[in-house]
């Protein structure tokens, strides 16, 4: 019999995006990791870049938690598994605490996890306390651990913030503004990838040091985590199949859960780099999203791999490509500087990077084997004569979602799919 587990757990949320949640959660994870604690970190909602930073801070894999995309039962299983050996569970919220349906607040309430509210205090004095109190009282069912003031300018600023706070809502930390050399840089899709920051450890240590002597570093309340409901074992739908996964600086937007599911379905995985490898040989290819536009000349110059992938497609072997992976399959891609390069040409059409976001939001894809859930987030616009075989459905609204293309054994879309949402449908992506 599985028994309930207990573990200190905290969800850190904010009033909006851009308040410094990722830096704060990474700093706290790093602080506890340096104390020798085993820290498990999760990210609310779909995200690839923040988890890279958080994984470095906690020295362990970071997974998504989302009531819609991941599902409440699978979220519970993840939390229970983490509590087997973790000394602390941290969850970074998404956007503002109450933003979205479901929201970070919904997740905290469903899982019974206490919330710490993060507020960017720049330009605020005693009014900080009113904002904090309103945030804490907006939904009485939430369990509040306290409030965090971020980007505090000085000792006098800190004093003003304290004056505005009421004693019933603990002020857990007054985090000073970090110098530019200690902050986490961004680009058009979000934070810069962890692997691109040679001094990331130093940045994380500097952020962790800013939490010294604050109440935030004390372990939060423990929660009881009931064992998940038993589920039927997955059928070995991919038994004996070799799937080669593109993974390098250009193609790095991968959920570890997706790779885990493919393995559970029986597949053997290997990895290759479209930037440096000259050939690939497998039963199926998985081309995930990433930043192909930042490596356009290198990708275009690797003609040997182009020939290998075209031979793979000609042989009728499956290719599943999402977002940046789909751009790699096109005839050409134009980057933000107006430079155009020819790519694989396996799908007719070309894409051009745009100055603003083109696609954003949660979407689902109905298939004969089940409904896959995922999200869209891209800055490119695609022009193709190819007729989509179907369109995804948006979680909210009646407009058509992303186009889904299928040509031979190639399946491609801007969607980033979460495979555990429909395992049989995920398996079908890699079958002829």
Please list the active-site residues: 323
What angle (nearest 5°) sits at the alpha carbon of residue 146, between those of residues 165 and 104? 125
Q: Tell me if 5 sits within 8 A of 80, measured CB to CB.
A: yes
Closest Cα partner for 191 from 62, 324, 51? 51
Q: Is 350 helix (H, G, I), strand (E, B) or coil?
A: strand
* 121/138 Cα distance (integer angstroms): 19
Q: Which two tokens stand for residue 132?
A: 């904090």
Query: If you ran DSSP here, which 8-state letter would residue 250 be given?
Result: S
All residues at 6 or more sequence positions from 83 whose CB lies less than 8 Å from its CB, including other chains: 5, 6, 7, 89, 225
Phi-psi region of 258 (alpha: psi -120 to 50; beta: other; left: phi over 0): alpha
Give the other-Cβ count within 10 Å of 64's Cβ: 24
CB 296 within 8 Å of CB 339: yes
């Amino acid at each position: 019999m599985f028994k309930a587990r207990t573990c200190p757990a905290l969800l850190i949320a904010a009033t909006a995006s851009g308040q410094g949640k990722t830096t704060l959660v990474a700093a706290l994870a790093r602080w506890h990791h340096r104390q020798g604690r085993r820290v498990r970190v999760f990210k609310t909602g779909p995200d690839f870049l923040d988890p890279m930073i958080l994984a470095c801070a906690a020295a362990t894999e970071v997974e998504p938690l989302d009531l819609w995309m991941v599902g409440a039962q699978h979220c519970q299983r993840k939390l229970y598994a983490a509590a087997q050996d973790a000394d602390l569970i941290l969850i970074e919220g998404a956007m503002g605490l109450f933003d979205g349906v479901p929201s970070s607040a919904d997740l905290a309430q469903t899982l019974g996890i206490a919330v710490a509210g993060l507020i960017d205090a720049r330009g605020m004095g005693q009014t900080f306390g009113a904002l904090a109190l309103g945030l804490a009282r907006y939904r009485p069912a939430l369990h509040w651990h306290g409030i965090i003031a971020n980007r505090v300018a000085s000792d006098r600023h800190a004093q003003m913030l304290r004056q505005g706070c009421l004693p019933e809502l603990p002020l857990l930390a007054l985090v000073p503004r970090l110098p530019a050399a200690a902050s986490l840089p961004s680009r058009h899709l979000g934070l810069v990838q962890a692997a691109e920051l040679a001094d990331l450890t130093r940045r994380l240590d500097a952020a962790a040091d800013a939490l010294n002597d604050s109440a935030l570093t004390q372990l939060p309340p423990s929660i009881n985590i009931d064992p998940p409901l038993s589920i039927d074992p997955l059928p070995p739908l991919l038994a004996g199949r070799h799937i080669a996964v593109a993974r390098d600086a250009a193609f790095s937007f991968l959920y570890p859960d997706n790779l885990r599911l493919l393995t559970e379905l029986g597949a053997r995985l290997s990895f290759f780099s479209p930037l440096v490898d000259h050939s690939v040989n497998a039963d199926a290819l998985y081309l995930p999203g990433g930043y192909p536009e930042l490596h356009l000349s290198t990708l275009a110059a690797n003609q040997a791999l182009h020939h290998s992938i075209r031979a793979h497609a000609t042989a009728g072997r499956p290719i599943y490509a999402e977002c940046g992976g789909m751009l790699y399959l096109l005839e050409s891609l134009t980057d933000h500087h107006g430079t155009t390069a020819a790519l694989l040409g396996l799908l007719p059409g070309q894409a051009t990077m745009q100055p603003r976001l083109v696609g954003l939001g949660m979407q689902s894809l109905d298939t004969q084997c089940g409904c896959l859930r995922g999200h869209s987030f891209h800055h490119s616009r695609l022009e193709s004569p190819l007729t989509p075989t179907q369109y995804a459905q948006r979680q909210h609204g009646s407009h058509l979602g992303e186009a889904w293309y299928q040509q031979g054994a190639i399946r491609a879309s801007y969607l980033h799919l979460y495979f555990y949402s429909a395992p049989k449908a995920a398996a079908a992506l890699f079958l002829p």
